[in-house]
Amino acid sequence: MVTIKDVAKATGVAPSTVSRVIADNPRISPDTKERVRKAMKELGYHPNINARNLAVSSTKAIGVIMPSSADKALQNPFFPEILRGIGSVTHSMQYSMTLSSGVTEEEIFNEVERMVYGSYVDGIILLYSKLDDRITNFLHEKNFPFVMVGKPYENATEITHVDNDNYTAGKEITDHLIQMGHQNIAFIGGSKELFVTLDREAGYEAALCDAGLDVYDEYRIHTEFLKSGGREAVERLLSLKEMPTGLVVSDDLISLGVLSMLEESGVSVPSDISLVSFNNVYLSEITRPALTTVDIQIHELGAQSAKVLIEQTVDKSVAAKRIIVPHKIIYRNSISEKGAL
């Protein structure tokens, strides 16, 4: 391995000088810089990151933590997409990113501990928000730089987070359904433990209220992702005395399952029932019908979190922030006008 010493020797300067050249220190003469750089190139010198990390006690690396149900969760295109968003900024700032790989909460907690105590990373991005979460609490207590994607359950003013305005998004998309003449609108959401679900549901509710429509408890269904989840939700729906004509589904992936089961049950979308959802993952344009959905700009969510986290790691004194990434409804064809009836 070519070290700084080799370069120094080859150039006839001291190691410290070489180090300064690497840092592009202004008080090194252009001439020596030139010579040192030439030698580095010739010898094929590359800095050893561990030595550097050790000396400056910083790593230029950030850790990305997936939710503990990672096996299922990772199936949601949301995650690859947000990873890309994070990657785009870590890459441009020459940071590297380390992914959590644990499955159980316990495993992940241990990984986080190692990351923090072992100086693996300078900061952490949490890809979920959970009530009373051990990892969140740990990071918060230790005062370790981290940002959360989503809304924190506690200490929201002290925890930097980047989120959408899911309440408003839920309201707007439900409004749209109402504008199209629908009055019986049901909500199908993911886990009630997740703030996203709650926020979107609250928006749905508010839209109904504002329009003077009743909110029925049987019209609010909570379920899992994928096929099984879709089945369950659709069965519940079909068993209702009065079938809704509109459906607000809190995640495109759930919509997929719902769509599939609906078709199996002979209910056609959008002619029998209209459906809208959230996220605008790439799948939502391939489904039949293509989904009208809220684009939450997943990539941007990731990019913003990485950006603010890095800011935070370089200057630990900056105050906690909330960053809201704007959303936008994407109109496709999973809705039909109800006015005609």
Partner DNA sequence: CTGTTAGCGCTTTCAT
Partner DNA sequence: ATGAAAGCGCTAACAG
Q: Which residue number, 198 or 256, has a Cβ lying nearer to its own copies?
A: 256
Say which entry of DNA, its own copies, none residue 3 contacts (CB below 5 to 8 A, set by partner kind). DNA
- The listed partner (its own copies, DNA, none) that binds 16, CB under 5 to 8 Å by sort, is DNA
> CB-wise, 23 or 319, nearer to its own copies?
23
CB 169 to its own copies: min, Å: 23
- Residue 12 interacts, among its own copies, DNA, none and using kind-specific CB cut-offs from 5 to 8 Å, with DNA
- Given its own copies, DNA, none, residue 15, with its beta carbon under 5 to 8 Å by kind, binds DNA
Residue 163, CB-side half-sphere exposure with 13 Å CA sphere: 24
Q: Looking at the chain, how many residues does it have?
A: 341
Q: Do residues 190 and 222 make contact, with C-beta atoms less than 8 angstroms apart?
A: yes
- Decide which of its own copies, DNA, none touches 257; Cβ closer than 5 to 8 Å per partner kind: its own copies
98 binds, among its own copies, DNA, none (CB under 5 to 8 A by kind): its own copies
Tell me whether residue 52 or residue 321 sits nearer to DNA (CB atom).
52
Token representation of residue 249: 């589904």
Q: In what order do the strands lie in the sheet with 185-189?
A: 220-222, 185-189, 246-249, 274-279, 292-295, 328-330
CA-CA distances (angstroms) from residue 281 to 64, 270, 323? Answer: 20, 20, 21
Contacting residues for 300 by C-beta, under 8 A, at least 6 apart:
85, 325
CB of 47 to DNA, least distance (A): 4
Residue among 295, 328, 319, 326 at smallest CA distance from 147: 319
Picked from its own copies, DNA, none, the partner binding residue 240 (CB below 5 to 8 A depending on kind) is none
CB-based contacts of 41: which residues, under 8 Å, 6+ apart? none
Q: What residues line the site for its own copies (CB under 8 A)?
A: 46-51, 53-54, 57, 59, 61, 70-71, 74-75, 77, 79-81, 83-84, 86-88, 90-91, 96-103, 107, 111, 113-114, 117-120, 226-227, 230, 256-257, 260, 263-264, 282-283, 285-288
Q: Which burial class, exposed, middle or buried, applies to 270 when counting CB atoms under 10 A from its CB (0-12, 13-18, 19+)?
A: buried
Alpha-carbon span 112 to 116, nearest angstrom = 6
Beta carbon nearer to DNA, 12 or 326:
12
User: Residue 150: which of 255, 74, 67 has the closest Cα?
Assistant: 67
Smallest gap, in angstroms, from Cβ of residue 208 to its own copies?
29
Supply the minimum distance, in Å, between the C-beta of residue 285 and its own copies: 6
Least gap, CB of 19 to DNA (angstroms): 3
Q: How far is the CB of 315 from DNA (least distance, A)?
A: 15
Residues whose CB falls within 8 Å of the CB of residue 179, separated by 6 or more in sequence, listed in order: none
Run of H or E including 231: helix 226-238
Q: Which is nearer to DNA, 33 or 332 (CB)?
A: 33
| Residue 181 interacting entry, from DNA, its own copies, none, C-beta within 5 to 8 Å by type | none
**Contact footprint for DNA (CB under 7 A):** 1, 3-5, 12-17, 19-20, 22-23, 25-29, 31-32, 45, 47-48, 51-52, 54-57
8 Å CB contact between 65 and 44: no
Tokens 């305005």 -> residue: 165
